[in-house]
Structure 1
Amino acid sequence: MAEEDLRRDHPAPGVLRLTLDRPHAHNAMPIALQRALDAALSGAAQDDSVRVVVLAGAGERAFCAGYDLKELEAMPPEAAQASMTEREDMLWRYLTYPKPTVAAVDGIAYGAGTMYAACSDLRVGGPATTMAVSAARYGGANLTWLLDTLIGASHARDLLLTARAVPGAEAYRIGLLNRYEPDVSQTALQVAKDIAAQPPEGIQQIKQLLLEGPGRNLRARYEHENSAVRSTLRQQPIAEMFSTFFASRPTAGEV
Structure 2
Amino acid sequence: MSIDFDLDGNAAVITINRPERHNAMDAEHYAGLSEAWTRVRDDNDIRAAIITGAGEKSFTAGADLKTFAGRQEPYADLWLTQRGQLLNRGLEVWKPVISAVNGYCVGGGMTLLFATDIRVAVDTAMFSISEVKRGLIAANGGTQRALRQLPYAIAMELLLVGDKLSAEEALRWGLINKVVPRADLLETALDYAHRISANAPLAVQATKELAIRSQDVDIATGLRFEQLIQRTLRNTTDVAEGGKAFAEKRPAVFRGE
Q: TM-score, normalised by structure 1?
A: 0.86
**Moved beyond 6 Å, runs of 4+:** 85-88
Structure 1 residues 244 and 159: CA distance shift in structure 2, 3 A: farther
Question: How many angstroms apart in 2 are the aligned matches of 1:113 and 1:20?
Answer: 11
Count of residues paired in the alignment: 243
Question: How many angstroms apart in 2 are the aligned matches of 1:192 and 1:165?
Answer: 28
Q: Percent identity?
A: 27
* Matching residue of 1:150: 149
* Matching residue of 1:78: 73
Bigger mean CA deviation after superposition, 61-70 or 149-158:
149-158
* Matching residue of 2:254: none
Question: How many angstroms apart in 2 are the aligned matches of 1:219 and 1:103?
Answer: 32
Q: SS of the residue aligned with 1:78?
A: coil
Q: Deviations over 1:122-169 (max 9, x none)?
A: 111120111111122123332221111111222211211111111111
Structure 1 residues 150 and 244: CA distance shift in structure 2, 3 A: farther
1:206 Cα deviation (Å)? 0.9
Q: Which ranges in structure 2 are unaligned for 5 or more consecutive residues?
A: 251-257
* Matching residue of 1:52: 48
Report 1:101-250 matches (<5 A). Answer: 101-142=97-138, 143-182=142-181, 183-236=184-237, 239-248=240-249
Structure 1 residues 81 and 56: CA distance shift in structure 2, 3 A: farther
- Check the 8 A contact 2:11/2:47 in 1, yes or no: yes
**RMSD value over aligned CA atoms?**
2.5
Q: Deviations over 1:160-185 (max 9, x none)?
A: 11111111111011011122222222
Question: How many angstroms apart in 2 are the aligned matches of 1:211 and 1:61?
Answer: 31
Bigger mean CA deviation after superposition, 231-240 or 106-115:
231-240
1:190 Cα deviation (Å)? 0.9
Question: How many angstroms apart in 2 are the aligned matches of 1:104 and 1:200?
Answer: 22
Q: Which ranges in structure 1 are unaligned for 5 or more consecutive residues?
A: 250-255
Residue type of the partner of 2:89? W
Structure 1 residues 169 and 244: CA distance shift in structure 2, 3 A: farther
Residue type of the partner of 2:186? S
Q: Deviations over 1:39-60 (max 9, x none)?
A: 1221232211111111110011
- Check the 8 A contact 1:239/1:246 in 2, yes or no: no
Q: TM-score, normalised by structure 2?
A: 0.85
